[in-house]
Each structure stands twice: as C-alpha cells, then as structure tokens.
Structure 1
Amino acid sequence: MTPNTATSGPSRRSFLANSAVAAAAVAGGMPLLAACGGSDSGSRDGTTSGKDAKKILPAYVASNVVTPDIPSKNGSSVGFTSKLDLAGLKTSVPKKLGKGSEVTIMSPFWGSPPKTDNAYYRAMNDLIGVDVAWQNQDGNTYEQKLGAVLASSDVPDVVVVPGWNMSGKIPSAIISKFADLGPYLSGDAVKDYPNLAAVPTDAWQRSIFGGKLRGLPMPASYVPNIVPLYRQDIFDKEGYEVPTSCAEFMALAKDITNAKAKRWACMDMKWVSFNAFGVLSGSEKPLGWNLVDGKLVNRIETEEFLEALEWARKLFAAGVVHPDAEMGKNAPDPGPKFAKGEFIIYAQDISQWWSRAAEQAVQNPEFKIWGMDLFGHDGGDPVLWATQPANIFAFVNKKASEAVIRDVLAVANVTAAPYGTKEYMMTNYGVEGTHYTVKDGLPTKTDQGNIDVMNAYVMVASPASTLAHPDFPDVTKGQVEWQQRMGAFTKKSPFYGMQIVEPSRYTNLSNDFEQLEDDITRGRKKISDMQQAVSDWKSKGGDKLRDWYQKILDENGSAAS
C-alpha cells in the first residue's frame, strides 16, 4: 500500500521528485519519510529485538548543544521557531574526525545534479576531513540502478537506500554486501560520534538488518504524517467551524460545495477516513497487522477498514470532492487550485503545511493554511497507528577498510548535527555569501545555493526529526503541536520499528488492493467487491502469511505499547 498518492497526499517518490519541495523540505529538517510507500523492508533476520537488540543498539546520549524552542513530546519532532543568530551558532563537532579517505557515495537525487567540484562539496569535505565523491542517480529510477549496482561486484563505499526501494532482492543484498557498524557504534562506542549518539533509539532499531546494525538512519516522527490541511482564511471569512466528526465533516462539505461557482469542499479524504475509523497503518506491510484477542488480524480484514472506505465513498457520491480527485494518481498538483480556493480542504504530508504557506506568502498575502486535528468518526478521540521511525538509510560497503568506515562515520556525525549548529548550517545551506544570504536572521538560498546545496549530504544521516521554519514560526509551532496532540492518540502495532521482508511468494499478494480501494471510493466498485478480494487474499496466501508473521511475533515479542 502506498498511503500518499496524488489525491491523498504525495507519495515519497512524487513528493521528492519535486526538487524545489525536496530541497526545501530536506533543508528545513522536514520529517520526509515518516511513512514510505508499502515496500518490503529488510529481512526476517532483521527483526532483532529485546535483549539481542540491546547488545547491538548504540547508547542514547541526548544532545545539549542546542535547546529546541519546542521539545519533542508524544513522538513529535522538535521545533525551532527563533531566527538564527549566525554569529552565535554552536559547534557540535569541535575537531575534524575525518582522516582524509576518499569515499564514494551513491544516492538518489531529485533535480539536476550539480558539478562534482562545486563550492558546497569542497566546503563540506574540508569541514569533515574526508574527500567525498558523489555518484548521484535519478531518484525516479533509483530502484533499477540500485538493483544493478548491488548485483555487481563494483559497489561504492556508501550506498543510500530509501525504504520504498527495499523490494525484490535488495534486502538480501543489503545483508550480504554491507558492513556491520556495531563494532563502531554499539553501546558506548557511539560516544565517539556525539551527534550520532543523539539519534533516537527507535531509528537505530530500524537500522538493524540481518541481525546486525548496518544502516545510518534518517530519523522521522512516528506520528501519522497525513494532515487534513485547510484554508483557514476562508474558514474565518465564511464562519466555518472545524469539524470534529465524520457527520460534521459531511455537513460542512455540503455547505461549502457549489459546483456552479467552481468550489468544492475537498480532495480525496480516504486517508483521513482511515484515521477517523482507527484503521491500521497502510504505510508498510508489517504495520498492517495487529494482535486482536490473541490472533493477528490484517487491516483489510477489519470492519473499520470497510467503514472507512464507505465514508470516503459517500463524500464522492455527495459531490463534495473536487473533480480532479476522480483522476486518482494522475490528478494534477492540487496546489494551484487550493490557492485559488476551488477546494479548501485536502489531506497531505505535513511538509506541505509549510511549503504551501511559503509559496503563497508573496503573491497571496491573505492566504493562510492550517491543519485540522484528526478526529474519531463518532466525534470521540481518534485511534491512530504509528508509522516507522526511520525510512532512509546509508550503508557502508562490507569491503571497506576500517579507515574508510570511520571516515564515513565522520561524515555522518557532521550531517547529523542539530539545527542551530555550524555543521547543520553548512550541511543544509552551504557557504554564506555563496550559497545563502542572511537578512533579519533568516537564511535565504542564492541561485547558486539552489543548484549546489541539494539532497546530498543530508542523505547520509540526520538528527532527530526536526521542524524549523523561522520564516514561518507560527507554522512550525502549529506543525509540532499538531504532532504532539495526535501523538497522544498514536499506538504502536506489534511490528513497529522492525525490518521485515515478506517471503517472495507473498510479494504480489496485496498488489491490487489500493486500486480497489480507489475504485470503491469513486463508486466504480462496491464494498462487496472488497469483501470478496479479502476472501481471495486469505485463501491465496493471506492465512499462511499470518502464520509467518505469528512466528516472528513469537520469536521477537511485540513492539506494541
């Protein structure tokens, strides 16, 4: 399942494919990958937990270099709202840890890669003490390139693998081709790299592949990342009340909609409906299972799943959904029509709360976007399910020497520096004067900065999930506080944080469900068609897959809490 397709939120591929959004989101510390599209992730052997994991995991040592304006709570990101005092930036890496190795890094890249010998790369390498050579690959076709490289004998020193690319033979290649970083990072060893020691333990747990600590993670908030965004300026002008139940939402949607005047209430709200009815996460296959009365049950087998589809269908049937949503994945970017007010509510990744505000700040000063709290369908508290705490990883070649491995960790220790440090500014903004300028405490990329300082070093490792938009402090505060409120209702299902890849015989078992969901919500198929599909799923392997997951649960215990 891919939770965030064009009408329900951006898929990670489509979201990051927009290089401007990608650059802004990565540079702004966005929780880019809080939920990556339904790929298998890792290996059966990578489900190490409990006592075995404790032997492997790095010690956690919170960073005290910078104090966030809004601390993490209930699984939220940390937030920074204050303008930067560039003269007072803290130093989190007091001495170069790099010893001058040449390190090749292959990573997905969205946009046009800069020249290899640019000022940003030179400055970063000088700061770290390592000679990094980038092998940037088109992010949109990365999985094919990744498969070919991992099948060859010519594997770069470091390879970045997004969670959504961990399918086919790639998970087993990760185990066979990449180094165990445990000797350098497990337990107190991580204290040699203080910024890595401050990476949350859940993100490291997620970095265990084949029973070994192999990945350097990009941490994310586990709070569901799809937010019902709405035009607060129009709500205020028209006197609309933010709904707190499905019935209130439907009544409001009918009140807003006037097709003759080219105004509709919303886009496809399927993923909000899933949250309203407490449906298990569809962001990754293992998260779709939960233990109910001692038996594992999949999200598609629940009454809540059918009820959510039915409510989403009713919105389409009522005519309150913008016609573009009928096109599903092929719908155009909703941004321009949202800005025009053709619809005033849509479900999107939390990063768009800021990016839409930034887009409209100059040309449409009255525009104000805000996020609705997720609600229980009956008006009660919602039941939400955690997404994964990390979903992009960098791996080091198993053939790398100790010197190269330590220099890779030196790179990661700089790129994982927290917001408000010199290392963070260099990683995310480049060289002052060349790549960015500062006015009133707000750094702004120059044209050269937009060319050079793109999704490169941030892909190696990142600090704890951070939201930092000093240009829009109210949005930052809104985002973090939304996560904090929703985090209070977020539960962890049994396989949260585990790296699991299903046996290949089950790979295609649920391939058709997302299309069927969309056909049902748009009135092209019926709920009974889903019930039949679930019955077929069970007989064609779903029940055996349940047994397979049960064995993992028996061996490793549950992450549910």
Structure 2
Amino acid sequence: MTPNAASASSGPSRRSFLASTAAATAAVAGGMPLLAACGGSESGSRDGTTSGKDAKKILPAYVASNVVTPDIPAKNGSAIGFTSKLDLADLKTSVPEKLGKGGKVTIMSPFWGSPPKQNNAYYTAMNDLIGVDVRWQNQDGNTYDQKLGAVLASSDVPDVVVVPGWNMGGKIPSAIISKFVDLGPYLSGDAVKEYPNLAAIPTDAWRRSIFGGKLRGLPMPAPSAPSMVPLYRQDIFDEEGYEVPKSCDEFMALAKDITNAKAKRWACLDMKWTAFQAFGVLSGSEKPLGWNLVDGKLVYRIETEEFLEALEWSRKLFAAGVVHPDSGLGKNAPDPGPKFAAGEFLIYPNNISQWWSRTAEQAAQNPDFKIWGMDVWGHDGGAPTLWAEQPAGIFAFVNKKASESVIRDVLAVANVTAAPYGTKEYMMTNYGVEGTHYTVKDGVPTKTDQGNIDVLNAYVMVASPAATLAHPDFPEVARGQVEWEQRMGAFAKKSSFWGMQITEPTRYTNLSNDVEQLEDDIVRGRKKISDMQQFVSDWKSKGGDKLRDWYQKILDENGSAGN
C-alpha cells in the first residue's frame, strides 16, 4: 500500500534517491511525498558511531510476528509482499488490550499537505484504540529543517519529535543526543517483548536507531534492496516490439530507435541514477555509504573510475538527443507524470513507489497504460554490482524530560502504528474508520473524501512494521515490486559503513556539497569530466584525505559491514 503521493521531480536528487518503500508504504493512503531517507549524520556527543559489541547490549530482542503470514516473504533485503484480496472480516488483532494509560502526548512531525483539525474522526479513533491522547503539532515537511532547528534549540520541545534522515544535518545530531531520552531501559533485550509489534521490527532498523551510544530512535524500517528502478512503458514496448536492454550499448541503440523528436517522442529522462547502478558506483544517498574498503584502502565514490564512466555515458545520452528536453531544465523540470502517460518519453529512473502511483494515476482514464520496472543491467552486459540501502531512515524521538508514564504512552502509540499489514491496527493506522474514511469493494479499500482529508501522514511517522508492499487495488504491481527487489537485492553488496549511524565532524560537513550540481552540469554538457577530476583533487586537499583517515579509525574500531 502506498500513499496518494506527491509526484517526484523528473530528476531524482540525493533526497529522492533513498525514498524507501517503507516510507512510501507506511504512509499507505497517506499523501506522503516520495522523499528519501538520506542524510546520514548521527550518533554521538562525540563524532562517530556505535557498533559491534556495544550495539548488541543495546538492541531489542527480535521476535518475529506470527499474527499475519505474508504472501511473499522477504528475501535479499526486499520488503515483504501481500498480493491477495483484503478480507476485513478476517483482520487479525495484534494489540489485544490497550497499553496506553490515557495520558496526553504531543508529537511534532513533518507533514505534506493541509493538516486536518486536531479532533477529527481519524485522530479520535486512533487515540481511542491506543488509549493515549495524542496531540499533533504537524509542520510543513518542505520547510521542516528550519522548524526542527528552532524547536531543538529552544527549551520547549514536544514529547515526541520525528526526524527524517535527510533533516539530520548541521547541529541536529548533537541535539538528538542532548534533548532525547535513552529508550534502552524500556526496549533493550527482552524488555521490548512488552511491545510485540516493536519486537518484530528487524534488528538492522533498531541498529540505525542508536544515537550517541544509546537507543534513542523509534524507526521506520526500509528494504535494504535497491529502490531506484528504471521504470518504462511496458505497453508501448510490447506494441512496438522493443526489447528491454541488457547493457549500456543496448540501451543507447534502443534509445536511438525510440527517439523521434519531430513526433515528440524521446527515449528517456536523465538516466544518471541508472548509470550509477549499471557501472557499480557506490551510493550517493548518504555520505557514509559512499565509502568502501577496496584492496585495503578506503575509497570514496567520486574517486572511482566507475563514477566518471557513469557520468560520461549519461552525457552521451544527452549528446545523442535521446533525452526528453524537460531533463535539461534540471530541478525546475515539471512533474514527469503527464508526459510519461502521453508517451513523450518511455523510460525514467525513480523510486520504486512510483511503479504503483503512476499505475493508480492512469487506471481510470488510460486503461492500456502499463508501467513496469526494468532489471538493472551491468554496463557491459554482465551482472550489475549494486549497493544495499540503509534499513531505516526516519525516526521518532522522545523528550529527555518526559516522565516514565509519557514514555510508556509513546511506546503504546508505536506498538499500534508498527502493527503488520492484515491487522485491525494496521487498517486503522493507514485507512482510518471504515465507512467514514474508506469503503471496501471486492477486497479493495478506497479512501473517501473525508479519508483523504483526515488520514494523512501522521501516526505512520511514529514507528512502522517491517517494510511491506501491498496494493489491494493492483496486486500484480506489489508482486512485481517485491520480486524486482529480490532479483536486484541478490546483486546488492553492503559497503563498509552500511547500517551504522555516523556523525561526520562538522569541519567536513560541506566538503562534497557541490558534487551533485557538478554531476548534472557534466551530464548536460555544461562542464567536462576534467572539471570533476579537478573537483576530486580539491576535495582531497581540502579535507577528503583527512576525512578518509577519520573513517578508517571508525573501521578499525568497529569492523566493516562490507561483504
């Protein structure tokens, strides 16, 4: 299940790259935009990370949920999948009694859209189900950085604050450590068993919730399998007899075959993110993921030959005239949805959640429309080298000044919002009240107008179940997504700092800030590969080599996640 999502721009950015399917599916009917769980800063009043033996003492015990059995179990870092009809009469109960004690809890969270009134029917029903009076302080997700910084710098911090990974820049990581409570006494080891749905959250997601040596975050789990998919118009491919390419040369030949500018048809949008995958470039979604140990030396993604080769191939696509003109507009490009639906271009890379959202958009007015995901190819036609994504990227934190009763009420909220798909709690969290917020026909729940007003991205931000893909309206898409993740996940390696929460020293924070703009300028022919080589040389001398030494020390102390 995915949100009524705001469409992502035609060119994915660092932020949209990691738009985890957990973020997308957790918001189920909810209106969350396709944003990403990026921005890997984290962890201590000191710089660095908590890993290894220290982390094991902190982590909650894992107890798999047996309330509902998925149709497709997780594999190779994929989400779990549900493809059968939704039977409301057979929904399971995962929280048999209210754990909330009736207290009041204030929660500040990013929100995309118009926040509903506080005492709406959805909030009231959720609070009654949980046994807690949750009061929402919803803030504009597009300007959340500023609000978050101001609130955390003040003495008036709400009981709970949600912090997405992409908002963890600057002083936010140190504020997390100084302002928020250690949840370890309530959740570490067997203590978590008091909250069975939290106990069923995968351990890797909890490991990402360690900040400053303490378990401070309630996580939104995400698949570690790749999430950036080369999406394409399968209906037009079938009609024209086009074959899905299996190498970069095949893609170029196909792109030239498809493109006819006079007929207003181009092959694709900017394919840079697919190029990074095809050439095996380390992840650009979060700074620590860009580092990997190669032949005994730490290497950063922009230093590699593969990085330059991916940019050069992407540049050749623009030079060949096969890229839709909108991609030349960069971040000012319009929503690609309408022109993709009109067949002006047939391929574009984006987050896997768009597989469903584009399908749902076109279902009524364009019944022949079929979007599907290409398997990523190795640039030379062999198997690709892909890189695992972080297993969680959005976190809820509890105020350090909160009383034990407030902390336990927050955990009661999280235990409901982390209920698995196929339960009454999941349906309430993600759809609201049947008849008021949604109706069901042939096993497909459909939001009412009131549901689209009330049931947006609020409670889903507190904690979520294991990453889940389920679209009762388009079960074949859910199957396609999960199976794609499983196939691509088989090629995904874990780079050296995968799964760790790492805070880079502030003196290095801005070192690589301009690299994405330079990438885009090179791909569009405004700059040359030699400009990137010069950038890398400057990066090394301005602190890149010292940052490498700093990461090496973390590696020496904690070991590598790499495989």
Which residue among 379, 404, 407 is the counterpart of 1:405? 407
Structure 2 partner of 1:313: 315
Structure 1 partner of 2:417: 415
Structure 2 partner of 1:27: 28
Which residue among 136, 143, 153 is the counterpart of 1:141? 143
Which residue among 267, 270, 283 is the counterpart of 2:272? 270
Matches of 1:450 and 1:312 in 2, distance apart? 39
- Is 1:123 aligned with 2:125? yes
Identity %: 83
Matches of 1:11 and 1:429 in 2, distance apart? 30
Q: In 2 relative to 1, CA 373–76 (structure 1 residues): closer, same or farther, beyond 3 Å?
A: same
Structure 1 partner of 2:3: none
Please say which of residues 551-560 and 30-39 is displaced more in the overlay.
30-39
Q: In 2 relative to 1, CA 49–25 (structure 1 residues): closer, same or farther, beyond 3 Å?
A: closer
Matches of 1:205 and 1:30 in 2, distance apart? 28
Q: In 2 relative to 1, CA 35–291 (structure 1 residues): closer, same or farther, beyond 3 Å?
A: farther
SS at match of 1:27: coil
SS at match of 1:393: strand
Query: Superposition RMSD on alpha carbons, in Å?
Result: 1.9
Matches of 2:278 and 2:154 in 1, distance apart? 46
- Is 1:513 aligned with 2:518? no
SS at match of 1:388: coil
8 Å contact kept, 1:98–1:407? yes
Structure 2 partner of 1:19: none
Deviations 1:126-148 (A, max 9, x none): 00000100000010111100000
Deviations 1:315-369 (A, max 9, x none): 0000000000001111100000000000000001000000000000010000000
Q: In 2 relative to 1, CA 383–557 (structure 1 residues): closer, same or farther, beyond 3 Å?
A: same
TM-score (norm 2): 0.96
Matches of 2:521 and 2:243 in 1, distance apart? 31
Q: CA deviation at 1:5?
A: 7.8
- Is 1:6 aligned with 2:3? no
Structure 2 partner of 1:76: 78
Matches of 1:236 and 1:25 in 2, distance apart? 33
1:380 maps to amino acid: G
Structure 2 partner of 1:357: 359
Which residue among 250, 266, 289 is the counterpart of 2:252? 250
8 Å contact kept, 1:28–1:468? no
8 Å contact kept, 2:30–2:452? no
Please say which of residues 67-76 and 502-511 is displaced more in the overlay.
502-511
1:508 maps to amino acid: N
Matches of 1:207 and 1:465 in 2, distance apart? 16
SS at match of 2:495: coil
Q: CA deviation at 1:449?
A: 0.5
Q: In 2 relative to 1, CA 144–433 (structure 1 residues): closer, same or farther, beyond 3 Å?
A: same
Structure 2 partner of 1:552: 554
Structure 2 partner of 1:40: 41
8 Å contact kept, 1:101–1:131? yes
Deviations 1:20-51 (A, max 9, x none): xx988711699988953445344455621111
8 Å contact kept, 1:436–1:444? yes
Structure 2 partner of 1:476: 478
8 Å contact kept, 1:34–1:390? no
Q: CA deviation at 1:441?
A: 1.1
1:332 maps to amino acid: P
TM-score (norm 1): 0.96
4+ long deviations beyond 2 Å? 4-16, 22-25, 28-46
2:311 maps to amino acid: L
Matches of 2:11 and 2:298 in 1, distance apart? 28
Deviations 1:226-265 (A, max 9, x none): 1000000000000000001000000000000000000000
Matches of 2:331 and 2:251 in 1, distance apart? 24
SS at match of 2:238: helix
8 Å contact kept, 1:9–1:348? yes
Gaps of 5+ in 1: 17-21
- The total of aligned residue pairs comes to 553
Q: In 2 relative to 1, CA 149–141 (structure 1 residues): closer, same or farther, beyond 3 Å?
A: same
- Is 1:67 aligned with 2:69? yes
- Is 1:190 aligned with 2:192? yes
8 Å contact kept, 1:33–1:220? no
8 Å contact kept, 1:35–1:284? no
2:179 maps to amino acid: K
Output aligned runs, 1:355-504, within 5 Å. Answer: 355-504=357-506
Gaps of 5+ in 2: 1-6
Structure 1 partner of 2:4: none
Matches of 2:274 and 2:128 in 1, distance apart? 46
